[in-house]
Amino acid sequence: DQQVKQNSPSLSVQEGRISILNCDYTNSMFDYFLWYKKYPAEGPTFLISISSIKDKNEDGRFTVFLNKSAKHLSLHIVPSQPGDSAVYFCAASHTGNQFYFGTGTSLTVIP
Amino acid sequence: NAGVTQTPKFQVLKTGQSMTLQCAQDMNHEYMSWYRQDPGMGLRLIHYSVGAGITDQGEVPNGYNVSRSTTEDFPLRLLSAAPSQTSVYFCASSSNDSGNTIYFGEGSWLTVV
């Protein structure tokens, strides 16, 4: 059973606009969340993280929001750039080392 | 900066053959893990290790063996390859000191025919 879900397989956004990628989880014990970005033929690379003691974490154009009551997190990219086009995975953990990943959302930023 | 190194990058196996995917990290991370990525399935954890001499099963461990004799190395063994093991495999490492951020290798593309 998938404990971390990304229900949108793909998303297209115009350059300069906001991209919002969503992630839902079922395990209330999860207390640490990560977002990864993956280009074709490469390994995933770390983007941003958030622990359950926070509801928001920001790093440049990237902001992650956590809603614990809804078991939902989202990644906002603003402004979106063509180089952001990639597959984005969210991941969750409650032990700090065993992470469960979502199925990914393919983002296309249209110039 | 080597980070996490996986070999081979590409491999074709016949059903029933065995092989080992190698993984090494030079960051002195205590945690290492193997994931497989399949279309529509995301990244699924196969096996992981919290330190040398300690391994445990992840979500999809069947058909795979691992060992962790040193901190640096975490090989993944397929004893008798099956077509269902055709996938992209990623090795990863992390550490409490790195804020539990997972660092991935570049992937190994395995096809079993």
Per-residue pLDDT tens digits for A52-74: 999 999 999 999 999 999 999 99
d(CA A6, CA B55): 29
CA B66-B68-B72 angle, 5° bins = 125
pLDDT at B93 over 90: yes
Which chain B residue is nearest to residue A10, measuring alpha carbons? B40
- Measured between beta carbons, which residues in chain B are less than 8 angstroms from residue A42? 106-107
| Nearest C-alpha neighbor of B65 from the set B39, B85, B95 | B85
The closest CB to that of A49, out of B33, B41, B101, belongs to B101
How does pLDDT run across B8-26, given as a tens digit for each residue? 999 999 999 999 999 999 9
pLDDT at B101: 83
Distance from CA of B80 to the nearest CA of A (A): 26
* CB-CB contact of A101 with B43 (8 Å): yes
Q: Does A100 touch chain B (CB under 8 A)?
A: yes
Q: Does B55 touch chain A (CB under 8 A)?
A: no
d(CA A71, CA A27): 8
CA distances from A111 to A16, A29, A54 (A): 9, 40, 34
d(CA B55, CA B74): 10
pLDDT at B98 over 80: no
3-state secondary structure of B84: helix
